[in-house]
Amino acid sequence: MKNNISKIMKILEKDFYKKGKTTLNRMRTRPDAFKVLIACLLSLRTQDKNTEIASNRLFAVADTPSQIVKLSIPRLEKLIFSSGHYRKKARTLKHVSQVLIGGFDSKVPETREELLSIKGIGPKTANIVLAFAFGQAVIPVDVHVHVTSNRLGFVKTKTPEQTEMELMKVVPKRFWKELNGIFVLFGKEICVTVSPKCSICPVRKYCPRIGVVRSR
């Protein structure tokens, strides 16, 4: 299986490694850790196009912790409305910004432990920041990574947290930083959660299609 994982990752890397394809990936060319963190928080439970709209509107007005803290909640909600769940997200952005100012000299910490110590930042967000802003070798796991890696037989896990740990055991380290970006695009375009497009999948011959009931 280990040989197949490398083969699969090389194929997917060739076809789906496109830094400019998503909002967060575009931010990697000139990373600003705070913007990456905020954009990731805005991206939760919404489509990428909504993340981009909300991020652009917010950063045009406020792109530092102190500037976000100075915004009123109604103003902040209005700026990020397109991201969905905007009331909860506005309060999260305020809280995270306040903690960064009070506990980290307004800088985004560079360790997983410190990031996770801030309420509102979960494992996926922490790893996105570490990988995308600081270039660390970690594996951010979202629904696309979790579903696809189980479907491909890379892992057999129940939760994203388990998936992260198991992927680090079997996926060659050189793929870790890019795995999330690759699997997100692959999951959106081919290996969709319901009825994946197996007929046009570039790694079909290596895929055991675990859990696939219906496909196209």
The domain spans of the chain are: 2-19+139-206, 32-133
Question: With 70 as the cut, is the pLDDT of residue 139 above it?
Answer: yes
Residues 6+ apart with CB under 8 A from 18: 25, 181, 185
pLDDT tens-place string over residues 41-85: 999 888 888 999 999 999 999 999 999 999 999 999 999 999 999
Span 14-43, mean pLDDT? 78
Residues 6+ apart with CB under 8 A from 8: 152, 203, 206, 207
Is the domain defined by 2-19+139-206 classed in CATH 1.10.1670.10? yes
Q: Matching CATH topology for 2-19+139-206 and 32-133?
A: no
Q: What percent of the chain has pLDDT over 90?
A: 70
pLDDT of residue 46: 85
By the 8 A CB rule, do 154 and 167 touch?
yes
Span 175-199, mean pLDDT? 90
pLDDT of residue 173: 92
Question: With 50 as the cut, is the pLDDT of residue 20 above it?
Answer: no
C-beta contacts of 65-69 below 8 A and 24+ residues apart: 65/34, 65/96, 65/97, 65/98, 65/100, 65/101, 65/106, 66/97, 66/101, 66/106, 68/38, 68/93, 68/94, 68/97, 69/94, 69/97, 69/98, 69/101
Question: With 70 as the cut, is the pLDDT of residue 29 above it?
Answer: no
Largest pairwise CA distance in the chain? 55
Q: What is the CATH number of domain 32-133?
A: 1.10.340.30
pLDDT of residue 78: 97
Query: CA dist 63 to 35, 50, 149, Å?
Result: 7, 18, 35
Q: Which helix (H) or strand (E) holds 91?
A: helix 86-104
Span 126-149, mean pLDDT? 91
Span 97-115, mean pLDDT? 97
Span 134-156, mean pLDDT? 92
Question: With 80 as the cut, is the pLDDT of residue 3 above it?
Answer: no
Span 195-203, mean pLDDT? 94
Span 15-20, mean pLDDT? 66
pLDDT of residue 27: 66
Span 92-119, mean pLDDT? 97
Q: What percent of the chain has pLDDT over 70?
A: 93
CA-based torsion, 49, 55, 58, 60: positive or negative: negative
Span 195-211, mean pLDDT? 94
Span 133-157, mean pLDDT? 92
Question: With 60 as the cut, is the pLDDT of residue 158 above it?
Answer: yes
